């Protein structure tokens, strides 16, 4: 897809995000806005997938796992805009009996979701398990997963990292949303990750860096990531983003991690985001 088209989709996704969280006065807009460009790019330009005929096993398709489940608004919007379910369903986010739970779940059978997430640190292991089965099934497609940077404080991430490298799980491309923020403040202050690039490298992964708000850069880096696959090493992309990207009063602060805009702030936010595909 052309860059200009991706930008138009991402603008609508951002509108969906702020409208969804404002609609129920809860949810996580900051990280969602920060990953709007990446998930738009992944679902509209990178993955081989079949939105009209979702299957849990996803044989022959690329798979995606959202490990940092709290940014569900961006995932739900991208799934709906890709055609997994009607965009009107976005209006049910976090409401009673909705398939769009606060954090992603499978129990209400929302098409596009293969694993519950929310309790952090589990998604890398899940993605690795799915990737190993793809190899057993001689299925050449890729497994993608996304993680928060704060999430890397969970020990299980590093169990999984060690395991994937030791077992040559080289059909997985993990991406870290490196926005430097978490609930209590800057990641650097809460619990520093140290040299993240070197850590992943020391764990045996191929490490790439990427600008998560530049479609040309994402295109180049993702092609490089794919070319590194099937060479015996798992691949991780450290993706620089800004929490709250696209809304001037939200950008670059941890304060909008898990707070919804009030009606006045919503009007302000929407005035900054072009309606390109029609609001739900």
Q: Rounded to an integer, what distance in angstroms lies between the CA atom of residue 68 and that of residue 157?
A: 12
Residue 266 near residue 18, CB atoms below 8 Å: yes
Tokens standing for residue 172: 């997985």
> Interface residues for other proteins in 155-184 (CB under 8 A)?
155-156, 159-160, 162-163, 166-167
Tokens standing for residue 264: 């006045």
Interaction of residue 236 with other proteins, rule CB under 8 A? no
**Residue closer to other proteins (CB basis): 58 or 148:** 58
- CB of 125: closest distance to other proteins in angstroms? 3
> Interface residues for other proteins in 128-147 (CB under 8 A)?
128-134, 136-137, 139
Polymer length in residues for the chain = 280
- CB of 26: closest distance to other proteins in angstroms? 20
Interaction of residue 230 with other proteins, rule CB under 8 A? no
In 3D, which of 226, 47, 258 has the Cα closest to residue 148?
A: 258
DSSP string of 159-222, one letter each residue = HHHHHHHHTT--SEEEEEEE--EETTEEHHHHH---SHHHHHHHTT-EEEEEETT-HHHHHHHH
Alpha helices for the chain (secondary structure H): 3-24, 29-34, 36-41, 72-82, 123-136, 155-166, 187-191, 196-202, 215-228, 263-271
- CB of 104: closest distance to other proteins in angstroms? 10
- CB of 119: closest distance to other proteins in angstroms? 5
Interaction of residue 114 with other proteins, rule CB under 8 A? yes
Q: Write each residue from 64 to 83 as x if it is in contact with other proteins (CB under 8 A), else as -, in one continuous string.
A: -x------------------
Interaction of residue 59 with other proteins, rule CB under 8 A? yes
**Residue closer to other proteins (CB basis): 109 or 249:** 109
- CB of 260: closest distance to other proteins in angstroms? 24
């Amino acid at each position: 897809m052309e860059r200009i088209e991706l930008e138009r989709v991402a603008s609508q996704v951002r509108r969906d995000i702020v409208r969804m969280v404002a609609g129920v006065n809860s949810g996580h807009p900051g990280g969602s806005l920060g990953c709007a460009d990446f998930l738009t790019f992944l679902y509209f330009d990178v993955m081989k997938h079949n939105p009209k005929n979702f299957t849990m096993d996803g044989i022959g398709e690329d798979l995606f796992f959202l490990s940092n489940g709290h940014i569900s608004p961006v995932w739900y919007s991208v799934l709906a805009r890709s055609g997994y379910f009607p965009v009107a369903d976005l209006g049910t986010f976090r409401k009673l009996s909705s398939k769009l739970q606060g954090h992603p779940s499978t129990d209400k059978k929302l098409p596009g979701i293969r694993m519950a997430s929310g309790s952090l640190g589990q998604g890398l292991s899940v993605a690795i398990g799915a990737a190993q089965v793809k190899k057993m099934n001689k299925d050449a497609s890729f497994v993608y997963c996304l993680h928060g940077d704060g999430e890397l404080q969970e020990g299980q991430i590093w169990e999984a990292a060690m395991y994937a490298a030791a077992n040559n799980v080289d059909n997985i491309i993990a991406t870290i949303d490196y926005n430097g923020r978490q609930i209590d403040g800057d990641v650097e202050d809460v619990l520093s990750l140290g040299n993240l690039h070197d850590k992943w490298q020391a764990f045996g992964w191929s490490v790439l860096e990427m600008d998560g708000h530049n479609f040309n850069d994402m295109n180049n880096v993702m092609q490089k990531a794919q070319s590194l696959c099937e060479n015996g090493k798992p691949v991780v992309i450290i993706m620089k983003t800004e929490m709250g990207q696209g809304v001037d009063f939200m950008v670059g602060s941890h304060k909008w991690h898990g707070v919804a805009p009030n009606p006045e702030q919503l009007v302000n936010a929407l005035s900054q985001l072009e309606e390109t595909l029609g609001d739900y």
